[in-house]
Structure 1
Amino acid sequence: MALLRIDKILSSQEIASRKEIKMLIKQGRIKADGKIVTKPEEKFDPENCEITLDDEPILYKRYIYIMLNKPKGVVSASRDSREKTVLDLLPPELRRKDLFLAGRLDRNTEGLLIITDDGEFSHKLLAPKSHVNKLYEAVVDRKLIENDVEKFRAGISEGGDDFLPADMKIIGENTALVEICEGKFHQIKRMFHAVGTEVLELKRLRIGGLLLDDKLSSGEARELSSEEINQALSREKIL
């Protein structure tokens, strides 16, 4: 990894503001590999150097990957001047500069949402050629039948868009699991609309091999493990 200014390293980890970091350095409270840092422009490799504040190690994370159980009624956006966004739900310890959503959910769709500051990861996750499948649970306004399953499997056209074949599994009279490999605007709702059905509730349960943690209450978030990050990029079929 390239050498970075110490003030940039610390500010990227939300340790303090750049102004506060300059003061910490002036006070001799920042060390790198046991030596006191004297200038904010000094450069280090944060992945191969022990940086401490008041002799307490600072765990450097180049990127952060967050799982959020998105609730209904919250906007999938990084910022909005009028409404609460999913980033507003994050606890202070998970907030960092330049966070964005690796895929979105409609305002009234809930469930698994990934938030990160790693652009390469997000591109791999969302690129059509990656074929990362997403699994949703849909509650609709009528009884579902096998003919609906067959129509989804054949591929559906709606509003000038062609949707690739999707797998559906009926799990209740008006409830189904739907697996898609695309992410077009309002896709699940539009596919059901095309077969004469309206979606009443929609929840994303899985991305690739990554399942929504059932221990996360609505609106709660946590970091992903390295294993879970790889699971999210898995191309495995779900249904």
Structure 2
Amino acid sequence: MPRLDQLLSSLGYGSRKQVADIVKAGRVRSGDLILKKPDQKVEAADVTLDGAALEAPYGLLAMLHKPLGHVCTHSDGEGPTIYELLPAQWMARKPAVTSIGRLDKNTSGLILITDLGPLVHRYTSPKAEVEKIYEVTVDRELDPALIATFASGGVMLRGEEKPCLPAKLEITSPLTASLTLMEGRYHQVRRMFASQGWHVEKLHRSRFGDYTLGNLAPGEWQMLELPADPA
């Protein structure tokens, strides 16, 4: 079991000194018992602060609807970041939250947010083959022959030595399609269409693994249950 001050600090409630002051003020309980020693061992699930359960004490997983114009980076200078849309306390967690599966500035859609390294690896490892669905709008009428081309597993991207894995393309209108991928190369959707002579005008990710956006509005986030085995 963790020390109380280490637990609260790791969840973003303040520095070790700040959370020690919180404890000494009698604001932290385990059940009906007021906890008075910052260094005492506790079970995270039993601890409350100001009467509320601790937020995601065993690790955080959330889904964000990334709007256009935001970047998936912690660095300044590239424009507004997705982390500005999230609670400030999450940035103070140790480790701080990060995104799973980046989207570029001109792409909207589903991003997973977590502070659990094993989850990042699970979903981004080249061997993971996590299903992702993208809604695509292109600059000219789509050719039905693209369905077989993308499904062939033979599409080559400029500068790469291995072809893309087979992908499922569903043409939904003359200029729109849904593309299902099992990998996540750099700007893959845009590059796949470009390799066949089409320019992607709009791009939106509607699904990532088992998760879909549903009615989640752009800029909004939603907490998710942790997988049974985050590792």
Q: Sort the TM-score into its range (normalised by shorter chain).
A: 0.7 to 0.9
Could you tell me which runs of 5 or more consecutive residues in structure 1 were left unpaired when the two chains were aligned. 231-239
Displacement of 1:207 in angstroms is 1.1
Does residue 58 in structure 1 map to residue 53 in structure 2? Answer: yes
Number of aligned residues? 222
Which of 84, 88, 102 aligns to 1:88? It is 84
Over the residues paired in the alignment, what is the CA RMSD in angstroms? 2.1
| 1:128-183 CA distance string (max 9 Å, x none) | 32221100011001101111111111131121322112110000101000011110
CA distance in 1, matches of 2:210, 2:26: 46
1:100/1:171 Cα in 2 relative to 1: closer, same or farther (>3 Å)?
same
Cα pair 2:71 2:78 within 8 Å, conserved: no
CA distance in 1, matches of 2:148, 2:38: 63
Partner of 1:157: 156
1:57/1:124 Cα in 2 relative to 1: closer, same or farther (>3 Å)?
same
Matches within 5 A, 1:1-239: 3-47=1-45, 50-54=46-50, 56-59=51-54, 61=56, 62-92=58-88, 96-97=92-93, 98-154=96-152, 155-161=154-160, 162-213=163-214, 215-226=215-226
The TM-score with structure 1 as length reference comes to: 0.84
Cα pair 2:100 2:113 within 8 Å, conserved: yes
Cα pair 2:9 2:15 within 8 Å, conserved: yes
Amino acid at match of 2:195: A
Displacement of 1:216 in angstroms is 1.6
Cα pair 2:69 2:79 within 8 Å, conserved: no
Displacement of 1:15 in angstroms is 3.5
Could you tell me which runs of 5 or more consecutive residues in structure 2 were left unpaired when the two chains were aligned. none
| 1:16-38 CA distance string (max 9 Å, x none) | 44333211222333233544433
The TM-score with structure 2 as length reference comes to: 0.87
Displacement of 1:8 in angstroms is 1.8
